[in-house]
Structure 1
Amino acid sequence: MHSYSATAPRGIRPRLIIADDHRMVAEGIQRILGDDFELLEIESDGNALFEAVCRLSPDLVVTDINMPGTNGLDVLKRLRQQGDRTVFVFLTMHAEPALAASAMRAGASAYVLKNAAGEDLLTAAHQVLAGGTYVTPSLGAHFISSRIQDLQQFTVKQREVLRLVGCGMRSKQIADELKLSVRTVEAHKYVMMQILGVHSTMELVRRSEELGLLL
């Protein structure tokens, strides 16, 4: 995948694919992001989006959820299943916190409402390419509440593992501390990453900090 760094030389812009079945919306996104991003293609359905991501390896995808053919969320899930880690921003009219949580759990980096586009979208795009996540502020409190409900799935042992991971301990050290096998520690970490929709130990720690779990 084409790599992007926040410290890349000036003139090298991250590469962007936009997907929305309403051409005027797609062109609006292009106007918002055009100065900072290199537009590769605009797609109008999910199947074309999937093919374009596989073919062009963009740095960033900004897509609606509802589209003809395969919806944006299913495109993301298919890409993640085959190991693709392209950064996805969902730009949607759907203000349901549960849908935002589902999108982030599936591997999205941002969830932005269309009625909050503009500076919100530009902020989200730069934030996620720097390794962060973004949810439209008006959804924030409800989104966090949805996440906390997910966390009720953590067992006591998983919470203990999470606490030690947050202290910077490696799996072998955690295994020794909790008198578990390294494989069991890794299994606990994997389950927690699945629940929080992240893909690495670093992301697990960062997302847990965002949710106030490691205070």
Structure 2
Amino acid sequence: MKRSRIILADDHRIVAEGLKSVIEPEFELVKIVEDGRALIDAVTELQPDVIIVDISMPLLNGIEAVEQIRKCNKKVKVIFLTMYADISYAIRAQGAGADGYVLKHSAPHELLEAIRTTLQGKNYITPLLENDYIEKQRKGSKERYKEKAFLTKRQREVLQLLSEGYAAKEVASMLNISTRTVEYHKYQMMKDLNINSVAELIRYAVKHDILSCDCDGIFKTP
């Protein structure tokens, strides 16, 4: 019987190697990648049945990478395997096109169950968040849209590129503005949101769906 083919995306090599031993007895692990751009390239090249992806990764975080993959590949099953036990991330992942959401501290059998479930065409969310997920979906996501509206279009453009891993000087060149202007927008966002670092700012943006903005034409993925 042909085994389903899986790509694993996680920038922690030790974690990835541990997951390899969980996945391989039942499925074919065709590749391990360590950043979002490499994931997009691997999916295009290898056309797997399932992607298992972390949210927090270099260059492109997992959610942004999946959003780009979904533009040209609707069939591949996507399971987020992450440390974020926050329902807002699960909602955000689902909006990006996830079929499953599993926590890293869950037992290995739960990941295997998620893979089997998504391959059957069903969605899977860890039981640890299921009740919160249903309640959040019922109430809607008004807070997310408030946060989006809070930032200007230029701020969201700057934040999008910073989240891609570009330095302020590179962002300035891509947006045709000065480096000083980029720094101004960065620190203004941090001040307004009461955030102390760029890494925290990016995590906040991913959590609240701020990066899904109308700035797709600013840059092209290499």
> Is the TM-score greater than 0.5?
yes
Equivalence for 2:138: 148
Equivalence for 2:60: 70
In 2, Cα distance between the equivalents of 1:65 and 1:85? 20
- After superposing the two structures, state which structure 1 stretch, 99-108 or 80-89, moved more: 80-89
In 1, Cα distance between the equivalents of 2:28 and 2:5? 5
2:25 aligned with 1:35: yes
- How far 1:141 sits from its partner (Å)? 0.6
Equivalence for 2:124: 134
In 2, Cα distance between the equivalents of 1:90 and 1:71? 11
In 2, Cα distance between the equivalents of 1:83 and 1:22? 26
Q: What pairs up with 1:28-177 in 2 under 5 angstroms?
A: 28-150=18-140
Read off the aligned partner of 2:57 and give its amino acid letter.
M
In 2, Cα distance between the equivalents of 1:50 and 1:151? 28
The alignment of Structure 1 onto Structure 2 pairs a total of residues equal to: 142
> 1:96–1:151: structure 2 CA closer, same or farther, 3 Å change rule?
closer
Deviations 1:156-212 (A, max 9, x none): xxxxxxxxxxxxxxxxxxxxxxxxxxxxxxxxxxxxxxxxxxxxxxxxxxxxxxxxx
Deviations 1:127-172 (A, max 9, x none): 00011111110111111111112299xxxxxxxxxxxxxxxxxxxx
In 2, Cα distance between the equivalents of 1:53 and 1:25? 20
- Structure 1 runs (4+) deviating above 3 angstroms are none
> 1:58–1:83: structure 2 CA closer, same or farther, 3 Å change rule?
closer
SS for the counterpart of 2:55 is coil
RMSD: 1.4
In 1, Cα distance between the equivalents of 2:126 and 2:97? 17
Read off the aligned partner of 1:143 and give its amino acid letter.
Y
SS for the counterpart of 2:105 is helix
Read off the aligned partner of 2:71 and give its amino acid letter.
Q
SS for the counterpart of 1:112 is strand
Read off the aligned partner of 1:107 and give its amino acid letter.
G
> 1:23–1:142: structure 2 CA closer, same or farther, 3 Å change rule?
same
SS for the counterpart of 2:15 is helix
SS for the counterpart of 1:116 is coil
In 1, Cα distance between the equivalents of 2:141 and 2:83? 27
Query: Matched residues, percent identical?
Result: 40
| Structure 1: stretches of 5+ with no match in the other structure | 1-9, 153-215
TM-score, with length taken from structure 2: 0.62
- How far 1:83 sits from its partner (Å)? 4.2
Equivalence for 2:186: none
> 1:151–1:48: structure 2 CA closer, same or farther, 3 Å change rule?
closer
Read off the aligned partner of 1:23 and give its amino acid letter.
R
